[in-house]
Amino acid sequence: MTVTELVPADPLTGDLLAVLHARSFAEAWPPAAFRALLEIPGTLALVALAEGEPAGFVLARCVLDEAEIISLGVLPPRRRQGHAGALMAAVAERARATGVRSLFLEVEADNVAARDLYEGLGFVRVGQRRAYYSRPGAAAADALLLRLALAPLDGRATADDDGVDT
């Protein structure tokens, strides 16, 4: 199964993002949080549709030449079907079109499936936050900070393409 369509989300679809988030993660964010995030300039949000039904979402925020993936979720029955990769590729291209050069995200250190996805997309580890994710009834999990360098639209490399500030 592949993604049949990616559609932009806006503040009016904040409730849908909250439902998708709640079905994708143990700790759900309230609809008001999504609506507020979607009101912030520079926010990018996409919903993946499969067979006309929502399958997943990505929410990112762009500031100057950097962007952060705030949340990416795919419904459990739709996982491992290419939706997350399609969402990430689309948000990276849209961010790059606005001048973003680096895309950041954090992932639970023990989330092997997500780490494999991000590494396959070219993300590299740039940091770690110890005991960042709380888990009810279990020890907190570390967060790994990952970065993807985005080539400029003109294809010219710059000094910071290797992730090293000059």
Quick one: what percent of the chain has pLDDT higher than 70? 89
Per-residue confidence (pLDDT) for residue 3, from 0 to 100: 62
Both tokens assigned to 158: 């710059």
Q: Does residue 166 lie within any of the structural domains?
A: no
Give the 3-state DSSP-derived string for 107-146, with helices as H, strands as E and coil as C.
EECCCHHHHHHHHHCCCEEEEEEEEEEEECCEEEEEEEEE
Place of tokens 């988030």: 21
Query: Is residue 132 situated within a structural domain?
Result: yes
User: 147-166, pLDDT tens digit by residue?
Assistant: 999 987 665 554 444 444 43
Residue 162 lies in a domain: no
Which residue of the set 5, 118, 119, 132 is catalytic? 118
Read off the pLDDT of residues 112-126 as tens digits, 9 standing for 90 and up: 999 999 999 999 999
Is residue 145 assigned to a domain?
yes
Query: The whole model's pTM is what?
Result: 0.85
Rounded Cα distance, 144 and 151, in Å:
23
| Active-site option among 5, 27, 39, 106 | 106
Examine residue 98 and state whether it is found in any structural domain, yes or no. Answer: yes
DSSP label at residue 1: -
The count of structural domains within the chain is 1
Residue 106 known to be catalytic: yes
Q: What's the CATH code of the domain at 93?
A: 3.40.630.30
Summarised one tens digit per residue, pLDDT across range 36-45 is 999 999 999 9
Residues of the domain holding 58: 5-157
Residue 165 lies in a domain: no
For residue 72, is it within any domain?
Answer: yes
133 catalytic, yes or no? no
Average pLDDT estimate for 71-100: 94
